Structure 1
């Protein structure tokens, strides 16, 4: 982990990527929970519909909340392509860049273990959960970095497509012992059987873990696709051509993913191939929107709120895990919102917690403190 004190944004840095990453982290670190709490409070159908999008389906299905983590994996790949291209342009060897990304993977894996197991009991490894959000990001970034530095754009695309096809074939053709081939139920899927028999430690859902080893490769495809999008953004092409190509990638991803979902359902728990393509396509379209509005049209003021979060994205993730902003919000603001109807207390307490998180990040931003892993 390195804390950097910067005098300004690095040359060539796209403000849109920081803003989009900030939007995503806002949803992860409390924004999604706040919107979910709005459900049933206003008797307004639209607000209730939005709130319903911030709950994960029990198994098959898709809501906007399912898109939040895949978007971060995609953005990790997009940012990675900028970092690697910059490093190579400065004369840093591929081996040194690979070592740097590998070290980052180990750091993220460690913080992921700490995050998912706090308080961590290192003397009881059998009950440690090894599948983590941060670990998944670290592994996906490392694999994508190796591919980016050693394969062409088209080759990476074919590799990602091959992974998704092979993953689909494995789940459809290889039966889990005691179940039939193609069984994608909660109990009978191949992913769960592999997790139960080969994944060490504790599994989140007991019979499987959505962040365990079996789904890592399909999830890594999101980071690979993010690298491809980032590489396209850096090419010497007219802006309109970049935008049209990225938009086409997004539309094709969503279209193919939806068609594939007819036989391989959208399922975040399994990180199904259809789910990967749909969320990659959605991510591409959001990159197009933010890039066009912020970096092309220069409408930047509205994005500052998100940029503050995006510049310290992983800090906010860990802060929200180890600092009880909800309790702080209650101590500071309960004297105000207690005068409202009781059903609104949790909503405004969550809003106060979000405000406190943002203020901490704003102070870091003003002092140009950016923590990089």
Structure 2
């Protein structure tokens, strides 16, 4: 039986997804305000908090969503199916723009891609029985992996890792750990993962590159990515992936730390005592993360151990503030906007990635350069938004915020009609 939802957690999730939508959809990647950029390599900007915050929130929700601590085949299968559904949503995003059907191109091809997309989304987000969900997700998972390694030219370099893929993996392992261990064991697992990862990255020589290092493309995590997923990595790097194999290990720790805080929120103690415990935990993790960063730098792409502890500490403090305002002081009138974002995160994650891909696939004539085709997204931005602003940074931000407003309208309709899509 599910425990009662925590409003502050839904609001925190909603704020995180809203920020994700804004930072992922600027009008121009060449014109972004610094706080809305990822750190070039080492370091941590506000944008670098979005992904770990979401994983932390997912972990925090596990003690609220899980039944009594009991793991049998039915529960295991439910966890596995949910993890694979999340994984497949992310994997399909990487396939979308590569789908080819006979000799179709332009709008006809886009329409076919969208039809396939809605079919996949329905299969992965539809409210079926667990048995049907299991059949569908294994069919889609197996089909996508088969295509990725089928030697079909269109899919030769399709990316396998991704944000949703990592979320699915973290959910699987964190959930199993929650159901099979106590709090002490969970803390020991986190410590072991983070220390082992630090040791691997700092001490193990990298074949072909020499000494262990934390640099871009030459570290152990990059070498493993290129060895095991060669040709199926992030297009911007080709030889390593920010959501790669080895760096997913510490990401699991982010989920477990969120799960730890979720268990604090479930303690049968007064709300004021919960606030004190969360404050101590949050501040302690921030301090430990910053101290650790002197030896193992904060780095999102490597998901370094210091980054795990530091971002989990900040997430705890943010959730603490929201918990105090909403659940202790009962100040809730301002929460509606974030709530509508927080209860339907997978719809936003998936379709907010599909829409830009669809807009980029629609080509129209450039009003300035004859016989040149540009994407509909570029046309909307360059010829309808940029002229309104003197500062290109403001134009780019306006486009991103407008896209978030568009999604707010969609999510409001879903919320009013009580349509909540869960994996």
TM-score under structure 2 length normalisation: 0.76
Match of 1:195 in 2: 225
Match of 1:118 in 2: 96
Match of 1:4 in 2: none
Deviation, 1:350, is 2.9
Q: Please give the alpha-carbon distance, in whole angstroms, between the structure 1 residues aligned to 2:173 and 2:258.
A: 13
Larger Rg: 2
Match of 1:364 in 2: 414
2:404 to 324, 330, 354: 354
Equivalent runs, 1:17-56 vs 2, <5 Å: 17-30=9-22, 51-56=33-38
Equivalent runs, 1:1-373 vs 2, <5 Å: 12-30=4-22, 51-84=33-66, 87-88=67-68, 94-121=72-99, 122=147, 123-124=152-153, 125-204=155-234, 205-324=237-356, 341=390, 343=392, 344-373=394-423
Note if contact 2:31-2:396 (Cα within 8 Å) is conserved in structure 1: no
State the SS of the aligned residue for 2:37.
Answer: coil
Moved more, 30-39 or 192-201: 30-39
Moved more, 247-256 or 110-119: 110-119
Q: Please give the alpha-carbon distance, in whole angstroms, between the structure 1 residues aligned to 2:177 and 2:50.
A: 24
Note if contact 2:83-2:169 (Cα within 8 Å) is conserved in structure 1: yes
Match of 2:369 in 1: none
Q: Which runs of 5+ in 2 are unaligned?
A: 100-146, 360-375
Deviations 1:62-90 (A, max 9, x none): 11111100000000001112111xx228x
State the SS of the aligned residue for 1:371.
Answer: coil
Deviation, 1:11, is 6.2
State the SS of the aligned residue for 1:12.
Answer: coil
The 1:65–1:331 alpha-carbon spacing in structure 2 relative to 1, beyond 3 Å, is: closer
Match of 1:6 in 2: none
The 1:335–1:257 alpha-carbon spacing in structure 2 relative to 1, beyond 3 Å, is: closer
Note if contact 2:23-2:36 (Cα within 8 Å) is conserved in structure 1: no
State the SS of the aligned residue for 1:165.
Answer: helix
Match of 2:113 in 1: none
Q: Please give the alpha-carbon distance, in whole angstroms, between the structure 2 residues aligned to 1:11 and 1:162.
A: 30
Deviation, 1:157, is 0.6
TM-score under structure 1 length normalisation: 0.86
State the SS of the aligned residue for 1:214.
Answer: coil
Deviation, 1:345, is 4.1
Moved more, 153-162 or 316-325: 316-325
Number of aligned positions between the proteins: 349
Note if contact 1:36-1:54 (Cα within 8 Å) is conserved in structure 2: no
What is the RMSD computed on CA atoms of the aligned residues?
2.7
Note if contact 1:98-1:145 (Cα within 8 Å) is conserved in structure 2: no
Deviation, 1:342, is 7.0
Note if contact 1:22-1:311 (Cα within 8 Å) is conserved in structure 2: yes
Q: Please give the alpha-carbon distance, in whole angstroms, between the structure 1 residues aligned to 2:323 and 2:29.
A: 31
Q: Please give the alpha-carbon distance, in whole angstroms, between the structure 2 residues aligned to 1:241 and 1:269.
A: 36
Deviation, 1:339, is 5.3
Q: Please give the alpha-carbon distance, in whole angstroms, between the structure 2 residues aligned to 1:38 and 1:177.
A: 35
Q: Please give the alpha-carbon distance, in whole angstroms, between the structure 2 residues aligned to 1:236 and 1:155.
A: 21
Match of 1:48 in 2: none
Deviation, 1:363, is 0.1
Deviation, 1:180, is 3.5
Note if contact 1:130-1:212 (Cα within 8 Å) is conserved in structure 2: no
